[in-house]
Structure 1
Amino acid sequence: MPDTLTTEEETVASTRATTMHAAVITAPKVVEVQQVPMPQPAAGQVRIRLQGCGLCASNIPVWEGREWFTYPVASGNPGHEGWGLIDAVGEGVTNVKVGDRVAALSYNAYALYDLADADKVVKLPASLAGKPFPGEPLGCAMNIFKRSDISEGQTVAILGIGFLGALLVQLAKKAGARVIAVSQREFSLETAKACGADEVIRMDDHYKIIEKVKERTNGNFCERVIECTGKEWPLNLAGELCAERGKLIIAGFHQDGLRQVNVQLWNWRGLDVINAHERDPQEYINGIKAAVTAVEQGTINPDQLYTHTYTLDEIASAFEHLTSRPEGFIKALITF
């Protein structure tokens, strides 16, 4: 994927601009590309001329509408998976400079430009030039894998093979684990196989899945089970697939209300239940740095998972596909 900011002339032009294009969700399922003021970096901040931004499933509630949201949302929000080139720096910034290509932890990246704190960007090496790099979800995968404590010889079940689940399949296989992938869509199961899954099971019937995993593990179930769906039923299924004294890792983003879970089962089997989400921004940055190394070394290969690309003008279609998951959909990118 070509870079969009390649010359000094373009950098100078961007610093002189006073407005930019940005996506604005004005009401549930309504998005407009508007001309908005160009953000200016304050002390300790950088401005990024974005080359792209991934779409995250956590965007769906904002897109669909919930009673606790107000509209219009801020321009460029909720884009938080951006990467691009620094085109301006605020006072006191010394760790990066204009022209550096970075992945950023920022929050309004469905736009041509976004601001980030200078300590919330990660420089991308020349070896990744021209490649998309949505740092936030790649970093999440690395952090979740670290929290999962997976080692050689373990059996690991991963429920929900989207972008995150597929990356975790790759990471678990590199660690020497046996991986069982459980997902609803046939395409997702094919993706899991391509990422190295040893076995795949269709996520259809709760009790049949339990019996299949029990059979394939000689009744022992799995030392590690990672739930990546954010849904109640698969979360309870994940507990059923855990071995005694196993670890249940919650990687799904559970944001639509309370969950009823089988604590009796978790208690009886002596499970460690790990909520693998991070809230410390520095941990996100550590994860992004680890992802840079993992991609460079071939530990993970996200390129095969970027299945859909849209321009900013096509962002309504991108949100619709993010929600409906058409055949072949894993990860969508907005590119500029």
Structure 2
Amino acid sequence: MPDHQGQPRAARVIAPGQTDIVPMVPRDPGPSEVRIAIEGCGVCASNLGPWAGPEWQQFPLPPGGLGHEAWGVIEAIGDEVHGLPPGTRVAFAGQHGFATHETVPAADVIVLPDELADMPVPAEPLGCAVNIFRRAAISGADTVAIIGIGFLGALLVQQASQAGARVIAISRRDSSLELARRMGADHTIAMEDHWQVIDHVKTLTDDHMCPVVIEVVGKQWPLDLAAELVCEGGRLVIGGYHQDGPRQVNMQMWNWKGMDVINAHERDPQVIRRGMRDAVRAVAGGLLDPMPLYSATYPLEGLAAALDATRDKPGRFVKALIACK
């Protein structure tokens, strides 16, 4: 691999499971844009679909492509941009963040406070956690089951616990259940057997089941399990990213329970940015603590290893970050 270290460059997925590094010329900002020298970018589970090389995916991907959880420092601004001088540290939800630079609309950036000066700030997934929690409408009187304790699930446990809810965390790995307990879960259940999980929740809730269940895995079985755990008139909140095609659901049970089903994936850019801003404030104020969830930081040249780790989850792995400088 050519040595581009120190030069403007981007990682690029060139085939299933393969990356390379290419030089880039950072684009000058248009009138309402800013150019950002990227410090780092989070690796998202949604990256794994393209990484696996489905039939619909065309290669190579654009330089920096898949990276949408970046943060960095503004180094140039357009003529119509005000209040964002060069040197301002920001986070943003771009599309080519696995690179040293990206140029984006000024309206899309979130200014980072001084309290976060020494911290990685992948504000986009932090904002997702805040928006999912908002859509779940959890109160202190609720018993909440959260299925899938990865990055989002752990932050949802923390928020639900802070809201005073009774939290049941359900996940496959022992390390994930330990993480859930550290984040404030009242009960943890290993996701090994469908009916044993259901019986366990029945016991914990005196057969009432849960007013709120949040599914954060993105697979068929966890979705099936989540529906079983919702009480009559409760809420099933889908936070998992379902990227592998259609789902089958038990509509007879869904109808009979009279439950609300909430797709907590936001598509309105204003709502996404609001969640990011609220998340940044929560981290700066000590209400959210994502630092234990950042498992490893890889150089830009190590994107392939970071994606593999995101897929394979070795040891206590939760989330990978890419250092883009």
Is TM > 0.5 for Structure 1 vs Structure 2? yes
- TM class by shorter-chain length? over 0.9
Cross-structure match for 2:3: none
- Per the alignment, in what secondary structure is the counterpart of residue 225 of structure 1? strand
Aligned 1:1-336 pairs, distance under 5 A? 20-335=8-323, 336=325
Structure 1 residues without counterparts, runs of 5 or longer: 1-16
- Per the alignment, in what secondary structure is the counterpart of residue 37 of structure 1? coil
Shift of 1:298: 1.7
Runs (4+) off by over 2 Å: none
- Per the alignment, in what secondary structure is the counterpart of residue 72 of structure 1? coil
- Per the alignment, in what secondary structure is the counterpart of residue 103 of structure 1? strand
- Per the alignment, in what secondary structure is the counterpart of residue 323 of structure 1? helix
Identity of aligned residues (%): 49
Structure 1, 313-322 or 78-87: larger mean CA deviation: 313-322
Partners of 1:232 and 1:259 within 8 A in 2: yes
C-alpha separation between the residues in 2 aligned to 1:164 and 1:271? 23
Quote the RMSD (CA, aligned, Å). Answer: 1.1
Cross-structure match for 1:6: none
Shift of 1:21: 1.0
Shift of 1:40: 2.0
- Per the alignment, in what secondary structure is the counterpart of residue 131 of structure 2? helix
Shift of 1:37: 2.4
C-alpha separation between the residues in 1 aligned to 2:213 and 2:200? 15
TM-score (norm 2): 0.96
Shift of 1:47: 0.9
Shift of 1:297: 2.1
C-alpha separation between the residues in 2 aligned to 1:325 and 1:274? 28
Partners of 1:307 and 1:330 within 8 A in 2: yes
Partners of 1:179 and 1:199 within 8 A in 2: yes
Shift of 1:282: 1.2
- The amino acid across from 2:163 in the alignment is A
Q: How many residues align?
A: 319
C-alpha separation between the residues in 1 aligned to 2:318 and 2:53? 23
Cross-structure match for 1:13: none
- Per the alignment, in what secondary structure is the counterpart of residue 231 of structure 2? strand
C-alpha separation between the residues in 1 aligned to 2:233 and 2:247? 22
Render the CA deviation track for 1:105-151: whole Å, top value 9, x for unaligned.
Answer: 21100000112211110000011111010010000001110000000
- Per the alignment, in what secondary structure is the counterpart of residue 86 of structure 2? coil
- Per the alignment, in what secondary structure is the counterpart of residue 301 of structure 1? coil
Shift of 1:278: 0.5
C-alpha separation between the residues in 1 aligned to 2:89 and 2:79? 19
Partners of 1:105 and 1:116 within 8 A in 2: no
C-alpha separation between the residues in 2 aligned to 1:103 and 1:290? 13
- Per the alignment, in what secondary structure is the counterpart of residue 24 of structure 2? strand
C-alpha separation between the residues in 1 aligned to 2:8 and 2:50? 22
